[in-house]
Copies of this chain bind each other. A is one copy, B any other.
Amino acid sequence: MISESVDDYLKAILELGGAHDERVTTNALAERLGVRTPSVTGMLQKLAAQKPLLVLYEKHRGVQLTAAGKRRAWELVRHHRLLELFLHDVLKYSWDEVHDEAERLEHFISERFEDRVSAILGDPEFDPHGHAIPRKDQSGVFRDEATLAEWPLHKPAIISSVSDRNAASLRELERLGLMPGAALIVEQRKSSGALAVRLDGGPEVIRVNKDLAFRVLVGNRQR
């Protein structure tokens, strides 16, 4: 069996490696997982040594997932996003409350639980933050999204997803109406990195600070 810790390493390697499976550094993993670098080295050595080979690791050269590692990591992502939507839609959590609970439970639900939740939700495609829910037993995909921080001025944008890693930011985004599906135009970019944004051709201009602007991912069209 795969432990909760190993699970978290696999998911972090997947997410940090991005669309092209880039090698992930010891430092990046330590940072993401909130552990010290020697702990990461230790874990990677152990993983690279043992039987169901989940990672490819070369000393000083970073780590990548094997096919098996990728399979498990995507399964965790599916668990996480299904759980988030379930907590939100069925248990009436607000969208800033779902992440922490899903992060814990994703490791412990069974296949049956996963299947039943998916069925109840109608085999959904997106979680409450706009992230795509991978199909069962399939690799997910990384959409190529731009951050709102880097989006050109005056070019129409649709919010595709928002970062779910900070609850306070999520509450702020909700208050501002910056949620997946919202259409907007960036009207001005301050030297501080703050933006002036107009929602949906509406009347008000919204101030979006730099931090927040990096947490909003946008595209040209609906999803």
Residues of A within 8 A of B (CB): 87, 90-93, 97, 101, 104-105, 108-110, 112-113, 116-117, 120
Contacts and interface: CB of A to CB of B under 8 A. Distances in A.
A87 B159 CA distance: 35
Given A91-B116, A91-B117, A120-B90, A108 B105 contact: yes
Given A87-B113, A93-B112, A101-B109, 18 more contacts: A90-B90, A90-B120, A91-B113, A91-B116, A91-B117, A91-B120, A92-B116, A93-B116, A97-B112, A101-B110, A101-B112, A101-B113, A104-B108, A104-B110, A105-B105, A105-B108, A105-B109, A108-B108
How many copies are assembled? 2
A110 B93 CA distance: 12
A120 B90 CA distance: 9
A113 to B, nearest CB: 6
A116 B94 CA distance: 12
